[in-house]
Amino acid sequence: MRHPDREHVSVELFGQLVRAVHAISQAGARELRSEGLTPAQYKTLAMVAARPDMQQRDLSDALGVTKGNISMLVARLESDGLLSRTPAGAAYLLRLTPDGRDLVNRLRPQHARFMAACFAPLSDDELDTLGGLLSRLEVDRP
């Protein structure tokens, strides 16, 4: 059945999605700030933990940010002693330092609990439904 005012409903639903994502992002950022990290720094560390020797340019592509932003982010994590980069030809390979690995291993379960708490109001069936619906909304069209 087609909704009679699909454009209005679509705009309203988009607003709800934005508010939900913003609220979860802000709460997550507060949690990470208490650990001295930004969300981008944590995501970088988690991605490198999952793929040691990841090339810096692949990280840039995976995060959807510019190479300049990744360079600054990686340089900061390197100066904090959490990440190392090793030249490999024209590229850099990224690896967590022992301190970086310890931090990710400590934060990963906390982050998983935080995310589970954010979605706690939804039943398992609702989570499955939401996942299916959101996957259908992945828009990569001009």
- Domain edges within the chain: 29-130
Percent of the chain at pLDDT exceeding 70: 96
**What is the pLDDT at residue 139?**
67
**Confidence grade of residue 1 (pLDDT, cut at 50, 70, 90):** low
Those residues with Cβ within 8 angstroms of residue 127's Cβ, 6 or more apart along the chain or in another chain? 119
In terms of average pLDDT, the best of 3-7, 61-65, 120-124 is 120-124
Please tell us whether the domain made up of 29-130 is placed in CATH 3.30.930.10. Answer: no
Tokens representing residue 142 in the block: 């001009």
Angle at 37 between CA 27 and CA 96, to 5 degrees: 130
Please give the order of strands across the beta sheet that includes 54-55: 54-55, 91-96, 83-88
DSSP string for residues in 31-56: HHHTTT--HHHHHHHHHHHHSTTEEH
pLDDT at residue number 10: 87
pTM here is: 0.80
Residue found under tokens 């990686």: 74
Instruction: For residues 57-75, give the mean pLDDT.
Output: 87
